[in-house]
Amino acid sequence: MNDPAASPSRFPLLPDREMTLGEILVAGFRAFFRMLPKMLLGFFLVYGATNLVVALIPFEEMLPCETMEDALRVARVETNVSRLLDNVFGVVAVLAAVLATGHVLAGLPVSPKRAFRGAVSRWWPMLWTGLLAGLVLLGLTLLLIVPGIIWCGYYRFLVPVVAFGLSGTAALAESKRLVKGNWWRTLGCSVVIGMVAAALTMPGVVVSVVYNLGTAEIETPLLLDEAVDFLTNVYIDVAALFGPVATAVFFLNRRSVVDGPRA
């Protein structure tokens, strides 16, 4: 990184010993809610833009929607397009959240400008490194399923590794180095972090489901339907950022344990 403040090198708020899962989650929540007020506008702009694009695409007009099966197919296409946009452009918000977490753990003030500037600079390295990892995992999975699962665990730290400066094969090797010898614990912690992030998104899911069920038999303004979908989707995207934030805490602590505190 050209901007040292965008990617801190020392994290005095993290212990030098291996943190427990509970400590990782507590530190993750603290970092998440400390950086969220300052980063929220940027997250809203990123996810608002991706969700707005999805909302403006006339899927029902582009695809036949005469039967329930057609409606389900349209919904799947819309979901896949939304995921694609999140994976391509939403990654800016993910990288910014990881860098902002670094600010918090380094005892620095959270700077949305620096976090998002750093995220944009790491956007392309993240995309092609993620593609490279995907190709490796695909090849291993097609060869034998078990190696694909094992190496998927080795790449659990890929996002923070790229956010903090590495890319390509160097990033893949670094993630594997930090996970090696700690694979089962990394997998277990990652599963729990994912479950907690999913739980945080549930209010948005519940609001969306309750609204759709409650208005299924009545005529509602199209603008209201779109607004509810838009706001609940943005909430879900932002709440899900707890996952990469807690993973960044886990990664930085693991790196400190393996390599020792950085000068």
Please report, for the chain, the start and end positions of each structural domain, with discontinuous segments joined by +.
21-115+182-259
Q: Which range, of 14-18, 55-59, 179-183, 252-256, averages the lowest pLDDT?
A: 55-59
78-118 pLDDT tens trace: 788 888 888 889 999 999 999 999 999 999 999 999 999 99
Gap between the Cα atoms of 68 and 213, Å rounded: 16
Residue 181: band (very low, low, confident or very high) from pLDDT cuts 50, 70, 90: very high
66-86 average pLDDT score: 76
Residue 68 has pLDDT above 70, yes or no: no
62-78 average pLDDT score: 71
The whole model's pTM is what? Answer: 0.89
pLDDT at residue 1 in the model = 40
Gap between the Cα atoms of 111 and 214, Å rounded: 41
Is 43 within 8 Å of 115 (Cβ atoms)? no
Of residues 15 and 13, more confidence is placed in 15
135-178 pLDDT tens trace: 999 888 887 788 888 999 999 999 999 999 999 999 999 999 99
C-alpha triplet 5, 11, 15: angle, nearest 5°: 170
Gap between the Cα atoms of 173 and 166, Å rounded: 10
Nearest to 160 by CA among 235, 85, 64, 95: 95
Residue 4: band (very low, low, confident or very high) from pLDDT cuts 50, 70, 90: very low
